[in-house]
Amino acid sequence: MPDWPAHLGRVILETVDSTNLEAARRINTGDQWILTHKQTAGTGRRGKVWEMPKGNFAASLLMHSSDDMQALAQRSFVAALALQDTLESFGATDITLKWPNDVLVKGQKIAGILLASASGAIIIGIGVNLAKAPDIKKLEPNALPPIALSNVIGSHVSALDFLAALATGFERFEQQMRDFGFDPIRRAWLDNAAKLGEVIYARLPNRVETGTFETIDETGALVLMTAKGRLVLPAADVFF
């Protein structure tokens, strides 16, 4: 396993309501990863329940930073690239990245990222289907079917082993972000983007936009070419 980044703390819990909530309670106690073996109130985007069958992965990185909100939000792309590398290191292939915060294997969802911000800090919550995919009957309409890493590679990876690899991978991409800005992260993410150049649907609070997924811009916003012209969306739920 990779060496643990020296400047990061590591907290391992048997159970917690949510690793993101626990990270928020630990603000100003240092940068750290928080992992739990059981999460009782995990959530995804828009407050959706994040199912965590036994053996799956739930962890949050608490990272203190003076960066502005735009740069902090771009850590979702850093996390996605780190997840891709980590999954590949355990033998997964055919990995794509779904804007804004999901990781797919064979077109099925294996991992999700949820950001939360606080004064002077960003919290990056990550859930991965290591052992078992959630019940598809509990997912909302149009959700991609889930997949588990154990089904992909034919063996089980422990949450602790996955965390060690993920923390190292995240640190590598984070250093790249600090040294060179968002552009190399953006280009690497686009190299692996799901449905790039294809028609997708972006669900907004009061409408659904249809268009060709053209790119993400220099801020990380989704760029769609629609029948009405080019549309830039800082936030939306994407489905296809």
**Is residue 15 pLDDT above 70, yes or no?**
yes
The arithmetic mean of pLDDT across residues 126-130, rounded, is: 97
Q: Which residue has the higher pLDDT, 214 or 6?
A: 214
Give the pLDDT score at 103: 98
User: CA–CA distance from 44 to each of 9, 127, 155, 200, 207 (Å)?
Assistant: 24, 9, 26, 21, 21
Show Cβ contacts of residue 47 under 8 Å, excluding neighbours closer than 6 positions. Answer: none
**In terms of DSSP bridges, do strands 108-118 and 102-105 run parallel, antiparallel, or are they unpaired?**
antiparallel
Q: Each residue of 142-181: pLDDT tens digit?
A: 789 999 999 999 999 999 999 999 999 999 999 999 999 9
Give the pLDDT score at 48: 64
Domains of the chain as residue ranges with CATH: 9-190 (3.30.930.10), 199-239 (2.30.30.100)
Give the pLDDT score at 47: 56
The arithmetic mean of pLDDT across residues 18-30, rounded, is: 95
Give the pLDDT score at 3: 83
DSSP string, 85-146: HHHHHTT--SEEEETTTEEEETTEEEEEEEEEEETTEEEEEEEE-SS-PPPGGGSPTTPPPB
Q: Which residue has the higher pLDDT, 140 or 57?
A: 57
Give the pLDDT score at 119: 82
Residue appearing with tokens 């290191």: 89
CA dist., res. 35 & res. 149, Å (int): 18
Binned at pLDDT 50, 70 and 90, residue 1 comes out as low
Q: Which residue has the higher pLDDT, 134 or 172?
A: 172
Q: Residue 95: which of 188, 176, 2, 171 has the closest Cα?
A: 188
Give the pLDDT score at 131: 96
Q: Each residue of 42-76: pLDDT tens digit?
A: 776 555 666 788 999 999 999 999 999 899 999 99
Three-state DSSP class for residue 30: coil
Give the pLDDT score at 105: 98
Among 124-138, 171-185, 193-207, the least confident range: 124-138
8 A C-beta contact, residue 107 and residue 52? no
